[in-house]
Structure 1
Protein backbone atom coordinates (compact mmCIF):
# COMPACT_ATOMS: atom_id res chain seq x y z
CA UNK A 1 0.00 0.00 0.00
CA UNK A 2 1.49 3.43 -0.92
CA UNK A 3 2.93 5.45 1.91
CA UNK A 4 1.68 8.93 2.75
CA UNK A 5 4.88 10.49 1.41
CA UNK A 6 4.62 8.54 -1.85
CA UNK A 7 0.99 9.60 -2.35
CA UNK A 8 1.93 13.21 -1.73
CA UNK A 9 4.81 12.99 -4.22
CA UNK A 10 2.54 11.51 -6.89
CA UNK A 11 -0.05 14.23 -6.31
CA UNK A 12 2.52 17.03 -6.56
CA UNK A 13 4.02 15.52 -9.73
CA UNK A 14 0.62 15.28 -11.41
CA UNK A 15 -0.21 18.84 -10.40
CA UNK A 16 3.09 20.15 -11.75
CA UNK A 17 2.68 18.34 -15.07
CA UNK A 18 -0.85 19.66 -15.42
CA UNK A 19 0.31 23.23 -14.75
CA UNK A 20 3.18 22.96 -17.23
CA UNK A 21 0.87 21.63 -19.92
CA UNK A 22 -1.76 24.32 -19.49
CA UNK A 23 -1.93 27.17 -21.98
CA UNK A 24 -0.51 30.47 -20.67
CA UNK A 25 -3.15 32.53 -18.95
CA UNK A 26 -5.46 29.55 -18.52
CA UNK A 27 -5.74 27.61 -15.26
CA UNK A 28 -5.00 23.87 -15.65
CA UNK A 29 -8.57 22.96 -14.72
CA UNK A 30 -9.87 25.06 -17.63
CA UNK A 31 -7.72 23.30 -20.22
CA UNK A 32 -9.74 21.85 -23.10
CA UNK A 33 -10.18 18.10 -22.87
CA UNK A 34 -10.74 17.56 -26.60
CA UNK A 35 -9.54 19.33 -29.76
CA UNK A 36 -11.60 22.40 -30.60
CA UNK A 37 -13.00 23.35 -34.02
CA UNK A 38 -9.71 24.89 -35.16
CA UNK A 39 -7.61 21.89 -34.09
CA UNK A 40 -10.05 19.51 -35.78
CA UNK A 41 -9.81 21.44 -39.04
CA UNK A 42 -6.02 21.74 -38.78
CA UNK A 43 -5.59 17.98 -38.34
CA UNK A 44 -6.91 17.44 -41.88
CA UNK A 45 -4.59 19.97 -43.52
CA UNK A 46 -1.07 19.76 -44.90
CA UNK A 47 1.04 22.60 -46.34
CA UNK A 48 2.29 22.47 -49.91
CA UNK A 49 5.83 22.93 -48.65
CA UNK A 50 7.84 24.03 -45.63
CA UNK A 51 10.81 26.31 -46.14
CA UNK A 52 13.29 28.06 -43.85
CA UNK A 53 13.24 31.85 -43.59
CA UNK A 54 15.83 32.40 -40.88
CA UNK A 55 18.62 30.58 -39.07
CA UNK A 56 19.54 31.23 -35.44
CA UNK A 57 22.59 29.15 -34.54
CA UNK A 58 21.70 25.61 -35.56
CA UNK A 59 17.99 26.33 -35.43
CA UNK A 60 16.08 26.94 -38.66
CA UNK A 61 12.77 28.79 -38.43
CA UNK A 62 10.22 27.76 -41.03
CA UNK A 63 7.31 29.00 -43.09
CA UNK A 64 4.51 26.48 -43.67
CA UNK A 65 3.27 27.44 -47.12
CA UNK A 66 -0.15 26.68 -48.63
CA UNK A 67 -0.11 27.37 -52.37
CA UNK A 68 -3.34 27.90 -54.32
CA UNK A 69 -4.48 25.75 -57.21
CA UNK A 70 -2.69 26.69 -60.40
CA UNK A 71 0.12 28.41 -58.50
CA UNK A 72 3.36 29.28 -60.23
CA UNK A 73 6.32 31.43 -59.27
CA UNK A 74 5.96 35.02 -60.44
CA UNK A 75 2.15 35.03 -60.04
CA UNK A 76 2.10 38.16 -57.88
CA UNK A 77 -0.66 36.97 -55.56
CA UNK A 78 -1.60 38.47 -52.23
CA UNK A 79 -0.17 36.68 -49.20
CA UNK A 80 -1.91 35.84 -45.91
CA UNK A 81 0.71 35.27 -43.19
CA UNK A 82 -0.71 34.00 -39.90
CA UNK A 83 1.00 33.64 -36.50
CA UNK A 84 0.00 31.25 -33.71
CA UNK A 85 -0.53 32.24 -30.11
CA UNK A 86 0.43 30.55 -26.84
CA UNK A 87 1.65 33.39 -24.64
CA UNK A 88 4.88 33.52 -26.71
CA UNK A 89 5.92 30.36 -24.84
CA UNK A 90 4.03 27.61 -26.67
CA UNK A 91 2.03 26.67 -29.73
CA UNK A 92 2.92 25.56 -33.24
CA UNK A 93 2.26 26.73 -36.82
CA UNK A 94 -0.22 23.85 -37.26
CA UNK A 95 -2.71 25.63 -35.00
CA UNK A 96 -3.29 28.29 -37.65
CA UNK A 97 -3.40 26.00 -40.70
CA UNK A 98 -7.14 26.58 -41.25
CA UNK A 99 -6.55 30.29 -41.87
CA UNK A 100 -3.64 29.74 -44.27
CA UNK A 101 -5.56 27.01 -46.12
CA UNK A 102 -8.72 29.13 -46.36
CA UNK A 103 -6.89 31.91 -48.16
CA UNK A 104 -5.03 29.49 -50.41
CA UNK A 105 -8.45 28.19 -51.48
CA UNK A 106 -9.37 31.78 -52.37
CA UNK A 107 -6.29 32.21 -54.54
CA UNK A 108 -3.81 33.75 -52.11
CA UNK A 109 -0.57 32.25 -50.84
CA UNK A 110 -1.30 31.23 -47.24
CA UNK A 111 1.57 30.92 -44.76
CA UNK A 112 1.67 29.87 -41.11
CA UNK A 113 4.99 30.79 -39.50
CA UNK A 114 7.22 29.36 -36.80
CA UNK A 115 9.05 31.61 -34.35
CA UNK A 116 11.32 31.14 -31.36
CA UNK A 117 9.44 30.58 -28.13
CA UNK A 118 10.10 32.75 -25.10
CA UNK A 119 11.93 30.87 -22.36
CA UNK A 120 14.13 31.95 -19.47
CA UNK A 121 15.95 28.63 -19.77
CA UNK A 122 17.02 29.22 -23.39
CA UNK A 123 17.32 32.99 -23.07
CA UNK A 124 14.74 33.70 -25.78
CA UNK A 125 12.87 36.91 -24.99
CA UNK A 126 9.63 38.36 -26.32
CA UNK A 127 11.85 40.81 -28.20
CA UNK A 128 13.27 37.79 -30.08
CA UNK A 129 9.74 36.65 -30.95
CA UNK A 130 9.07 40.11 -32.38
CA UNK A 131 12.31 40.01 -34.37
CA UNK A 132 11.28 36.69 -35.93
CA UNK A 133 7.89 38.02 -37.04
CA UNK A 134 9.50 41.06 -38.63
CA UNK A 135 12.15 38.85 -40.27
CA UNK A 136 9.44 36.64 -41.76
CA UNK A 137 7.71 39.57 -43.46
CA UNK A 138 11.05 40.79 -44.79
CA UNK A 139 11.85 37.33 -46.13
CA UNK A 140 8.49 37.06 -47.88
CA UNK A 141 8.83 40.54 -49.36
CA UNK A 142 12.41 40.01 -50.57
CA UNK A 143 11.59 36.56 -52.01
CA UNK A 144 8.20 37.61 -53.38
CA UNK A 145 8.91 36.64 -56.99
CA UNK A 146 9.83 33.03 -56.23
CA UNK A 147 6.99 32.74 -53.72
CA UNK A 148 4.50 34.00 -56.33
CA UNK A 149 3.59 36.95 -54.10
CA UNK A 150 2.99 40.65 -54.72
CA UNK A 151 5.32 42.36 -52.19
CA UNK A 152 2.74 45.12 -51.71
CA UNK A 153 -0.10 42.73 -50.89
CA UNK A 154 1.00 41.14 -47.63
CA UNK A 155 -1.61 40.60 -44.90
CA UNK A 156 -0.40 39.60 -41.45
CA UNK A 157 -2.73 37.99 -38.92
CA UNK A 158 -2.40 36.26 -35.58
CA UNK A 159 -4.21 35.12 -32.47
CA UNK A 160 -3.45 36.22 -28.90
CA UNK A 161 0.37 36.48 -28.62
CA UNK A 162 0.42 35.83 -32.37
CA UNK A 163 -1.83 38.87 -32.76
CA UNK A 164 0.76 40.85 -30.81
CA UNK A 165 3.50 39.67 -33.17
CA UNK A 166 1.35 40.52 -36.18
CA UNK A 167 0.88 44.07 -34.85
CA UNK A 168 4.60 44.19 -34.09
CA UNK A 169 5.46 43.87 -37.78
CA UNK A 170 3.88 47.29 -38.35
CA UNK A 171 4.57 49.02 -35.03
CA UNK A 172 8.01 48.26 -33.65
CA UNK A 173 10.44 49.70 -36.17
CA UNK A 174 13.28 49.71 -33.66
CA UNK A 175 13.16 45.97 -32.93
CA UNK A 176 15.05 44.10 -35.65
CA UNK A 177 17.39 41.15 -36.09
CA UNK A 178 20.98 42.28 -36.67
CA UNK A 179 21.13 40.17 -39.82
CA UNK A 180 17.96 41.67 -41.37
CA UNK A 181 18.16 43.98 -44.37
CA UNK A 182 16.49 47.06 -42.92
CA UNK A 183 15.98 48.47 -46.41
CA UNK A 184 13.20 45.89 -46.78
CA UNK A 185 10.06 46.99 -44.93
CA UNK A 186 8.62 44.64 -42.31
CA UNK A 187 5.29 46.48 -42.30
CA UNK A 188 2.40 44.61 -43.93
CA UNK A 189 -0.35 46.08 -46.09
CA UNK A 190 -3.12 44.98 -43.73
CA UNK A 191 -3.52 43.48 -40.26
CA UNK A 192 -6.12 41.02 -38.95
CA UNK A 193 -5.81 40.62 -35.18
CA UNK A 194 -7.63 37.86 -33.29
CA UNK A 195 -8.11 38.57 -29.55
CA UNK A 196 -4.57 40.03 -29.57
CA UNK A 197 -2.19 40.91 -26.80
CA UNK A 198 -2.50 44.64 -27.43
CA UNK A 199 -1.60 46.18 -24.05
CA UNK A 200 1.43 44.84 -22.18
CA UNK A 201 1.00 47.05 -19.11
CA UNK A 202 -0.03 45.47 -15.81
CA UNK A 203 -3.66 46.06 -16.88
CA UNK A 204 -3.10 43.93 -19.98
CA UNK A 205 -1.07 40.80 -20.63
CA UNK A 206 2.62 39.92 -20.72
CA UNK A 207 4.02 42.56 -18.39
CA UNK A 208 5.95 40.07 -16.24
CA UNK A 209 7.25 38.15 -19.28
CA UNK A 210 8.60 41.24 -21.02
CA UNK A 211 9.90 42.98 -17.90
CA UNK A 212 10.73 46.62 -17.31
CA UNK A 213 10.95 47.35 -21.05
CA UNK A 214 7.30 46.32 -21.51
CA UNK A 215 6.24 49.65 -23.03
CA UNK A 216 8.60 49.13 -25.97
CA UNK A 217 6.42 46.15 -26.97
CA UNK A 218 2.97 47.48 -26.11
CA UNK A 219 0.96 48.06 -29.32
CA UNK A 220 -1.57 50.42 -27.72
CA UNK A 221 1.31 52.67 -26.67
CA UNK A 222 2.76 52.88 -30.21
CA UNK A 223 -0.20 53.89 -32.35
CA UNK A 224 0.64 56.57 -34.91
CA UNK A 225 -0.58 57.82 -38.27
CA UNK A 226 0.17 55.76 -41.36
CA UNK A 227 -0.37 52.28 -39.93
CA UNK A 228 -1.92 49.53 -42.11
CA UNK A 229 -5.71 49.05 -42.22
CA UNK A 230 -6.59 46.81 -39.30
CA UNK A 231 -9.44 44.47 -38.38
CA UNK A 232 -9.67 43.28 -34.77
CA UNK A 233 -11.81 40.46 -33.35
CA UNK A 234 -12.22 40.52 -29.57
CA UNK A 235 -14.63 39.30 -26.91
CA UNK A 236 -15.89 41.46 -24.07
CA UNK A 237 -15.50 38.54 -21.65
CA UNK A 238 -11.77 38.13 -22.33
CA UNK A 239 -9.90 38.10 -19.02
CA UNK A 240 -6.54 37.02 -20.51
CA UNK A 241 -6.05 39.88 -22.97
CA UNK A 242 -8.69 42.28 -21.61
CA UNK A 243 -11.17 43.79 -24.06
CA UNK A 244 -10.36 47.28 -22.73
CA UNK A 245 -7.00 47.11 -24.50
CA UNK A 246 -8.57 46.31 -27.89
CA UNK A 247 -11.08 49.13 -27.41
CA UNK A 248 -8.33 51.61 -26.52
CA UNK A 249 -6.23 50.51 -29.51
CA UNK A 250 -9.20 50.86 -31.85
CA UNK A 251 -9.95 54.36 -30.59
CA UNK A 252 -6.29 55.41 -30.83
CA UNK A 253 -6.09 54.11 -34.41
CA UNK A 254 -9.14 56.12 -35.46
CA UNK A 255 -7.84 59.23 -33.72
CA UNK A 256 -4.55 58.89 -35.62
CA UNK A 257 -6.48 58.75 -38.90
CA UNK A 258 -5.93 55.05 -39.57
CA UNK A 259 -8.59 52.63 -40.78
CA UNK A 260 -9.47 50.24 -37.98
CA UNK A 261 -12.52 48.03 -37.46
CA UNK A 262 -13.36 46.29 -34.18
CA UNK A 263 -15.64 43.24 -34.33
CA UNK A 264 -17.03 42.76 -30.83
CA UNK A 265 -18.26 39.42 -29.50
CA UNK A 266 -20.42 40.10 -26.46
CA UNK A 267 -19.27 37.93 -23.58
CA UNK A 268 -16.66 36.16 -25.70
CA UNK A 269 -13.85 34.62 -23.66
CA UNK A 270 -10.23 34.47 -24.78
CA UNK A 271 -9.95 32.43 -27.98
CA UNK A 272 -13.73 32.27 -28.42
CA UNK A 273 -13.67 32.22 -32.22
CA UNK A 274 -11.32 29.24 -32.39
CA UNK A 275 -13.64 26.91 -30.47
CA UNK A 276 -16.75 26.95 -32.64
CA UNK A 277 -16.89 26.13 -36.36
CA UNK A 278 -19.72 28.64 -36.79
CA UNK A 279 -17.68 31.42 -35.16
CA UNK A 280 -14.54 30.39 -37.05
CA UNK A 281 -16.41 30.52 -40.36
CA UNK A 282 -17.98 33.85 -39.41
CA UNK A 283 -14.53 35.29 -38.61
CA UNK A 284 -13.16 34.22 -41.98
CA UNK A 285 -16.19 35.57 -43.86
CA UNK A 286 -15.89 38.96 -42.16
CA UNK A 287 -12.16 38.96 -42.88
CA UNK A 288 -12.92 38.19 -46.54
CA UNK A 289 -15.18 41.26 -46.73
CA UNK A 290 -12.49 43.42 -45.12
CA UNK A 291 -9.77 42.21 -47.51
CA UNK A 292 -12.05 42.66 -50.56
CA UNK A 293 -12.63 46.27 -49.52
CA UNK A 294 -8.86 46.79 -49.63
CA UNK A 295 -8.43 45.12 -53.02
CA UNK A 296 -6.43 42.29 -51.45
CA UNK A 297 -8.99 39.60 -52.25
CA UNK A 298 -11.04 39.25 -55.42
Structure 2
Protein backbone atom coordinates (compact mmCIF):
# COMPACT_ATOMS: atom_id res chain seq x y z
CA UNK A 1 0.00 0.00 0.00
CA UNK A 2 2.83 2.35 0.88
CA UNK A 3 4.56 1.73 -2.48
CA UNK A 4 1.30 2.38 -4.35
CA UNK A 5 0.94 5.75 -2.57
CA UNK A 6 4.54 6.66 -3.35
CA UNK A 7 4.02 5.78 -7.01
CA UNK A 8 0.85 7.88 -7.08
CA UNK A 9 2.56 10.92 -5.63
CA UNK A 10 5.57 10.46 -7.91
CA UNK A 11 3.31 10.40 -10.98
CA UNK A 12 1.35 13.41 -9.69
CA UNK A 13 4.56 15.37 -9.12
CA UNK A 14 5.76 14.50 -12.61
CA UNK A 15 2.42 15.64 -14.04
CA UNK A 16 2.69 18.98 -12.22
CA UNK A 17 6.27 19.43 -13.41
CA UNK A 18 5.29 18.80 -17.03
CA UNK A 19 2.34 21.20 -16.74
CA UNK A 20 4.60 23.86 -15.22
CA UNK A 21 7.11 23.50 -18.06
CA UNK A 22 4.36 23.70 -20.67
CA UNK A 23 2.91 26.84 -19.12
CA UNK A 24 6.38 28.35 -18.85
CA UNK A 25 7.15 27.69 -22.52
CA UNK A 26 3.76 29.08 -23.55
CA UNK A 27 4.33 32.14 -21.39
CA UNK A 28 7.74 32.74 -22.97
CA UNK A 29 6.27 32.48 -26.46
CA UNK A 30 3.44 34.82 -25.52
CA UNK A 31 5.90 37.25 -23.91
CA UNK A 32 8.28 37.23 -26.87
CA UNK A 33 5.43 37.86 -29.30
CA UNK A 34 4.50 41.02 -27.38
CA UNK A 35 8.00 42.25 -26.54
CA UNK A 36 10.33 41.36 -29.42
CA UNK A 37 13.95 40.80 -28.51
CA UNK A 38 15.75 43.54 -30.41
CA UNK A 39 19.35 44.56 -30.81
CA UNK A 40 20.22 47.63 -28.76
CA UNK A 41 22.34 50.47 -30.11
CA UNK A 42 24.19 52.29 -27.30
CA UNK A 43 25.41 55.85 -27.80
CA UNK A 44 27.18 58.44 -25.67
CA UNK A 45 25.18 61.65 -25.88
CA UNK A 46 27.00 63.76 -23.33
CA UNK A 47 30.12 63.96 -21.17
CA UNK A 48 29.87 66.42 -18.30
CA UNK A 49 31.96 66.74 -15.13
CA UNK A 50 33.72 63.48 -16.05
CA UNK A 51 30.38 61.69 -16.24
CA UNK A 52 29.65 59.80 -19.44
CA UNK A 53 25.93 59.72 -20.18
CA UNK A 54 24.47 57.17 -22.57
CA UNK A 55 21.25 56.31 -24.34
CA UNK A 56 20.00 53.05 -25.80
CA UNK A 57 18.04 52.83 -29.03
CA UNK A 58 15.77 50.20 -30.56
CA UNK A 59 14.86 50.31 -34.24
CA UNK A 60 11.89 48.94 -36.18
CA UNK A 61 12.31 45.70 -38.10
CA UNK A 62 13.31 45.95 -41.75
CA UNK A 63 14.75 49.42 -41.24
CA UNK A 64 14.84 51.32 -44.52
CA UNK A 65 18.01 53.26 -45.21
CA UNK A 66 16.54 56.62 -46.17
CA UNK A 67 13.33 56.51 -44.15
CA UNK A 68 12.56 58.63 -41.07
CA UNK A 69 10.55 57.07 -38.28
CA UNK A 70 8.42 58.46 -35.45
CA UNK A 71 10.41 58.33 -32.23
CA UNK A 72 9.57 57.95 -28.55
CA UNK A 73 12.08 58.86 -25.84
CA UNK A 74 11.71 57.32 -22.36
CA UNK A 75 13.03 58.70 -19.05
CA UNK A 76 12.93 56.43 -16.01
CA UNK A 77 11.63 57.48 -12.60
CA UNK A 78 13.29 57.45 -9.20
CA UNK A 79 12.79 60.89 -7.67
CA UNK A 80 15.90 62.23 -9.48
CA UNK A 81 17.76 60.10 -6.90
CA UNK A 82 18.18 56.78 -8.70
CA UNK A 83 16.62 54.42 -11.21
CA UNK A 84 17.73 52.71 -14.43
CA UNK A 85 16.77 52.61 -18.10
CA UNK A 86 15.33 49.13 -17.53
CA UNK A 87 12.05 50.63 -16.30
CA UNK A 88 10.71 51.26 -19.80
CA UNK A 89 12.63 48.59 -21.69
CA UNK A 90 9.49 46.56 -22.34
CA UNK A 91 7.56 49.57 -23.62
CA UNK A 92 10.54 50.44 -25.82
CA UNK A 93 10.60 46.96 -27.32
CA UNK A 94 6.88 47.06 -27.95
CA UNK A 95 6.80 50.42 -29.69
CA UNK A 96 9.82 49.48 -31.81
CA UNK A 97 7.72 46.53 -32.98
CA UNK A 98 5.05 49.08 -33.93
CA UNK A 99 7.43 50.90 -36.24
CA UNK A 100 8.98 53.54 -34.01
CA UNK A 101 12.56 54.34 -33.06
CA UNK A 102 12.60 54.05 -29.28
CA UNK A 103 15.14 55.58 -26.93
CA UNK A 104 16.03 54.88 -23.29
CA UNK A 105 17.94 57.79 -21.76
CA UNK A 106 20.23 57.65 -18.76
CA UNK A 107 20.84 60.89 -16.87
CA UNK A 108 22.46 62.23 -13.72
CA UNK A 109 20.82 61.32 -10.41
CA UNK A 110 21.71 62.11 -6.83
CA UNK A 111 22.79 58.59 -5.76
CA UNK A 112 25.32 58.19 -8.57
CA UNK A 113 26.35 61.74 -9.37
CA UNK A 114 25.46 63.88 -6.37
CA UNK A 115 23.25 65.95 -8.66
CA UNK A 116 20.00 67.88 -8.27
CA UNK A 117 16.81 67.77 -10.38
CA UNK A 118 18.17 70.73 -12.32
CA UNK A 119 21.06 68.64 -13.66
CA UNK A 120 18.60 65.87 -14.54
CA UNK A 121 16.54 68.31 -16.60
CA UNK A 122 19.66 69.61 -18.33
CA UNK A 123 20.59 66.05 -19.31
CA UNK A 124 17.08 65.27 -20.54
CA UNK A 125 17.19 68.31 -22.81
CA UNK A 126 20.73 67.52 -23.98
CA UNK A 127 19.53 64.06 -25.01
CA UNK A 128 16.75 65.48 -27.19
CA UNK A 129 19.18 67.92 -28.78
CA UNK A 130 21.57 65.06 -29.52
CA UNK A 131 18.78 63.08 -31.20
CA UNK A 132 17.79 66.06 -33.31
CA UNK A 133 21.36 66.76 -34.42
CA UNK A 134 21.83 63.10 -35.37
CA UNK A 135 18.30 62.57 -36.63
CA UNK A 136 19.27 61.63 -40.17
CA UNK A 137 21.72 58.88 -39.24
CA UNK A 138 19.38 57.58 -36.53
CA UNK A 139 16.33 57.53 -38.85
CA UNK A 140 14.43 59.95 -36.62
CA UNK A 141 11.54 62.06 -37.83
CA UNK A 142 12.04 65.29 -35.86
CA UNK A 143 8.42 66.28 -36.53
CA UNK A 144 7.15 63.15 -34.80
CA UNK A 145 9.09 62.98 -31.54
CA UNK A 146 7.38 61.87 -28.34
CA UNK A 147 8.80 62.32 -24.84
CA UNK A 148 7.65 59.95 -22.14
CA UNK A 149 8.53 58.93 -18.61
CA UNK A 150 7.32 57.90 -15.19
CA UNK A 151 7.26 59.97 -12.00
CA UNK A 152 10.47 62.06 -12.00
CA UNK A 153 11.11 60.72 -15.51
CA UNK A 154 7.72 62.08 -16.53
CA UNK A 155 8.82 65.40 -15.10
CA UNK A 156 11.84 65.30 -17.42
CA UNK A 157 9.64 64.45 -20.41
CA UNK A 158 7.36 67.40 -19.66
CA UNK A 159 10.40 69.59 -19.01
CA UNK A 160 11.93 69.05 -22.45
CA UNK A 161 8.63 70.02 -24.03
CA UNK A 162 7.66 72.98 -21.86
CA UNK A 163 10.59 74.59 -20.06
CA UNK A 164 12.31 77.46 -21.88
CA UNK A 165 15.20 77.54 -19.42
CA UNK A 166 17.32 75.06 -17.41
CA UNK A 167 19.83 74.26 -20.17
CA UNK A 168 23.38 72.90 -20.05
CA UNK A 169 25.84 75.75 -20.58
CA UNK A 170 27.59 73.77 -23.31
CA UNK A 171 24.38 73.01 -25.25
CA UNK A 172 23.47 74.82 -28.43
CA UNK A 173 20.23 76.42 -27.24
CA UNK A 174 19.34 77.34 -30.81
CA UNK A 175 18.37 73.67 -31.10
CA UNK A 176 15.04 73.64 -29.30
CA UNK A 177 13.92 70.65 -27.30
CA UNK A 178 10.24 70.84 -28.19
CA UNK A 179 8.60 67.52 -28.97
CA UNK A 180 5.34 66.83 -30.75
CA UNK A 181 3.64 64.76 -28.03
CA UNK A 182 3.95 63.70 -24.40
CA UNK A 183 3.05 60.46 -22.62
CA UNK A 184 3.22 61.00 -18.86
CA UNK A 185 3.03 58.09 -16.40
CA UNK A 186 2.16 59.25 -12.85
CA UNK A 187 4.36 62.21 -13.59
CA UNK A 188 5.66 64.95 -11.37
CA UNK A 189 4.43 68.11 -13.10
CA UNK A 190 3.90 70.51 -10.20
CA UNK A 191 6.84 71.73 -8.11
CA UNK A 192 4.97 74.67 -6.62
CA UNK A 193 4.28 75.45 -2.96
CA UNK A 194 0.65 74.26 -3.03
CA UNK A 195 -0.75 70.95 -1.74
CA UNK A 196 -0.07 69.20 -5.06
CA UNK A 197 3.46 70.51 -5.35
CA UNK A 198 6.15 67.81 -5.28
CA UNK A 199 9.39 68.48 -3.37
CA UNK A 200 8.94 72.23 -3.63
CA UNK A 201 11.62 72.88 -0.99
CA UNK A 202 14.15 70.90 -3.01
CA UNK A 203 13.57 73.09 -6.06
CA UNK A 204 14.22 76.29 -4.14
CA UNK A 205 13.28 79.81 -5.15
CA UNK A 206 13.74 79.03 -8.84
CA UNK A 207 10.92 76.45 -8.82
CA UNK A 208 8.99 78.32 -11.53
CA UNK A 209 11.79 77.62 -13.99
CA UNK A 210 11.57 73.85 -13.45
CA UNK A 211 7.88 73.21 -12.73
CA UNK A 212 6.19 72.03 -15.96
CA UNK A 213 2.64 72.92 -14.95
CA UNK A 214 3.68 76.54 -14.48
CA UNK A 215 5.11 76.70 -18.01
CA UNK A 216 2.17 75.48 -20.09
CA UNK A 217 1.68 77.92 -22.94
CA UNK A 218 -0.03 78.00 -26.30
CA UNK A 219 1.46 75.34 -28.52
CA UNK A 220 2.00 72.79 -25.73
CA UNK A 221 2.05 69.33 -27.36
CA UNK A 222 -0.84 66.84 -27.14
CA UNK A 223 -0.47 64.87 -23.92
CA UNK A 224 -1.67 61.64 -22.33
CA UNK A 225 -1.54 61.63 -18.51
CA UNK A 226 -1.81 58.20 -16.84
CA UNK A 227 -2.39 57.98 -13.08
CA UNK A 228 -3.78 55.69 -10.39
CA UNK A 229 -6.31 57.14 -7.96
CA UNK A 230 -4.40 55.63 -5.02
CA UNK A 231 -1.09 57.23 -5.96
CA UNK A 232 0.51 58.41 -2.70
CA UNK A 233 2.79 60.92 -4.45
CA UNK A 234 0.75 62.48 -7.24
CA UNK A 235 -2.83 63.54 -6.36
CA UNK A 236 -5.50 63.06 -9.01
CA UNK A 237 -6.24 66.76 -8.70
CA UNK A 238 -2.81 67.54 -10.17
CA UNK A 239 -3.60 65.60 -13.36
CA UNK A 240 -6.87 67.49 -13.79
CA UNK A 241 -5.18 70.80 -13.01
CA UNK A 242 -2.67 70.00 -15.76
CA UNK A 243 -5.51 69.19 -18.15
CA UNK A 244 -7.34 72.40 -17.22
CA UNK A 245 -4.30 74.48 -18.08
CA UNK A 246 -3.83 72.59 -21.33
CA UNK A 247 -7.48 73.16 -22.23
CA UNK A 248 -7.06 76.86 -21.50
CA UNK A 249 -4.33 77.20 -24.15
CA UNK A 250 -6.14 75.01 -26.66
CA UNK A 251 -3.93 71.93 -26.36
CA UNK A 252 -5.16 68.35 -26.25
CA UNK A 253 -4.78 66.48 -22.97
CA UNK A 254 -6.20 63.06 -22.15
CA UNK A 255 -6.25 62.00 -18.49
CA UNK A 256 -6.65 58.30 -17.69
CA UNK A 257 -7.30 57.51 -14.02
CA UNK A 258 -7.12 53.87 -12.92
CA UNK A 259 -9.19 52.93 -9.90
CA UNK A 260 -7.40 51.36 -6.96
CA UNK A 261 -3.94 51.72 -8.48
CA UNK A 262 -0.90 53.26 -6.83
CA UNK A 263 2.38 54.76 -7.94
CA UNK A 264 4.14 52.81 -10.69
CA UNK A 265 1.23 50.45 -11.35
CA UNK A 266 1.98 50.49 -15.09
CA UNK A 267 5.38 48.81 -14.67
CA UNK A 268 5.81 45.26 -15.88
CA UNK A 269 5.62 42.90 -12.90
CA UNK A 270 6.48 39.30 -12.14
CA UNK A 271 3.02 38.48 -10.79
CA UNK A 272 0.90 40.11 -13.52
CA UNK A 273 1.28 42.12 -16.70
CA UNK A 274 -2.31 43.36 -16.62
CA UNK A 275 -1.75 47.08 -16.18
CA UNK A 276 1.41 47.13 -18.24
CA UNK A 277 -0.65 45.77 -21.12
CA UNK A 278 -3.68 47.98 -20.49
CA UNK A 279 -1.67 51.20 -20.31
CA UNK A 280 0.56 50.27 -23.26
CA UNK A 281 -2.52 49.62 -25.35
CA UNK A 282 -3.92 53.04 -24.42
CA UNK A 283 -0.65 54.72 -25.37
CA UNK A 284 -0.73 52.78 -28.64
CA UNK A 285 -4.21 54.17 -29.36
CA UNK A 286 -3.08 57.70 -28.47
CA UNK A 287 -0.08 57.53 -30.79
CA UNK A 288 -2.25 56.00 -33.51
CA UNK A 289 -4.65 58.93 -33.21
CA UNK A 290 -1.70 61.25 -33.90
CA UNK A 291 -0.80 59.26 -37.01
CA UNK A 292 2.53 58.02 -35.62
CA UNK A 293 1.71 54.33 -35.82
CA UNK A 294 -0.84 52.37 -37.83
CA UNK A 295 -2.87 49.23 -37.53
CA UNK A 296 -4.31 47.41 -34.55
CA UNK A 297 -2.34 47.22 -31.27
CA UNK A 298 -0.34 44.01 -30.89
CA UNK A 299 -1.43 43.56 -27.27
Q: Is the 8 A contact 1:73 1:147 kept in 2?
A: no
Residue aligning to 1:57: 49
User: Which whole-Å CA distance do the structure 2 matches of 1:148 and 1:173 have between them?
Assistant: 26
User: Which whole-Å CA distance do the structure 1 matches of 2:65 and 2:52 have between them?
Assistant: 23
Q: Is the 8 A contact 1:134 1:176 kept in 2?
A: yes
- Post-superposition Cα deviations, 1:216-274, rounded to whole Å, max 9, x if no partner, equal 21122111110111001011211212222111101110111101100111232111222
- Alignment partner for residue 154 of structure 1, among 145, 165, 168? 145
User: Which whole-Å CA distance do the structure 2 matches of 1:212 and 1:289 have between them?
Assistant: 39
Q: Is the 8 A contact 1:45 1:98 kept in 2?
A: no
The 3-state SS of whatever aligns with 1:127 is helix
The answer to whether structure 1 residue 68 and structure 2 residue 60 are counterparts is: yes
Q: Is the 8 A contact 2:56 2:103 kept in 1?
A: yes
Greater mean alpha carbon deviation, residues 66-75 or residues 109-118: 66-75
Residue aligning to 1:85: 77
The answer to whether structure 1 residue 104 and structure 2 residue 96 are counterparts is: yes
User: Which whole-Å CA distance do the structure 1 matches of 2:213 and 2:174 have between them?
Assistant: 26
User: Which whole-Å CA distance do the structure 2 matches of 1:56 and 1:227 have between them?
Assistant: 30
Residue aligning to 2:279: 283
Residue aligning to 2:242: 249
Q: Is the 8 A contact 1:68 1:107 kept in 2?
A: yes
- Alignment partner for residue 296 of structure 1, among 288, 292, 296? 292
User: Which whole-Å CA distance do the structure 2 matches of 1:81 and 1:140 have between them?
Assistant: 10
User: Which whole-Å CA distance do the structure 2 matches of 1:50 and 1:255 have between them?
Assistant: 40
- Alignment partner for residue 259 of structure 2, among 263, 266, 270? 266
- Alignment partner for residue 136 of structure 1, among 106, 127, 130? 127
The structural deviation recorded for 1:208 is 3.0
User: Which whole-Å CA distance do the structure 1 matches of 2:36 and 2:48 have between them?
Assistant: 31
Greater mean alpha carbon deviation, residues 85-94 or residues 266-275: 266-275
Unpaired stretches in structure 2, ≥5 consecutive residues: 1-30, 295-299
> What is the alpha-carbon root mean square deviation over aligned residues?
2.0
Q: Provide the TM-score with structure 1 as the length reference.
A: 0.81
Q: Provide the TM-score with structure 2 as the length reference.
A: 0.81
Alignment of 1:110-189 (within 5 A): 110-118=102-110, 122-189=113-180
User: Which whole-Å CA distance do the structure 1 matches of 2:190 and 2:289 have between them?
Assistant: 28
User: Which whole-Å CA distance do the structure 2 matches of 1:135 and 1:47 have between them?
Assistant: 24
